[in-house]
Amino acid sequence: MSSRANILVTGGAGFIGSHACKALVAAGYLPVTLDNFSTGHRDAVKWGPCIGGDIRDTALVREALTSHRIDAVMHFAAKAYVGESMHDPAIYYDNNVSGTASVLAACRQAGVGDFIFSSSCATYGEPSALPITEATTQRPVNPYGRTKLIGEQMIADHAAAYGLRHVTLRYFNAAGADPAGELAERHEPETHLIPLALIAAHGKREALAVFGSDYATPDGTCIRDFVHVGDLAQAHAGALSYLLGGGSNVALNIGSGRGYSILDIVAEVERVTGRAIRLRFEPRRAGDPPVLIADPRLAERVLGFVTKLSDIGTIVADASAHFKIGAGNAIRA
Q: Which of 29, 144, 242, 260 is catalytic?
A: 144
Provide the phi-psi class of 289: left if phi over 0, else alpha when psi is between -120 and 50, else beta.
beta
144 flagged as catalytic: yes
* Distance from C-alpha of 304 to C-alpha of 254, rounded to nearest angstrom: 12
CA-based Rg of the chain, rounded to a whole angstrom?
A: 19
* Distance from C-alpha of 113 to C-alpha of 72, rounded to nearest angstrom: 7
* CA 147 to chain centroid: 14
Q: What is the DSSP string of 158-182?
A: HHHHH--EEEEEEE-EEE---TTSS
In this structure, which amino acid lies at residue 57?
D
CA angle centred on 166, ends 245 and 131, rounded to 5°: 105
**Which residues touch 316 (CB under 8 Å, ≥6 apart)?**
176, 194, 265, 268, 269, 272
**Which secondary-structure segment (H or E) carries 279?**
strand 279-282
What are the catalytic residues? 144
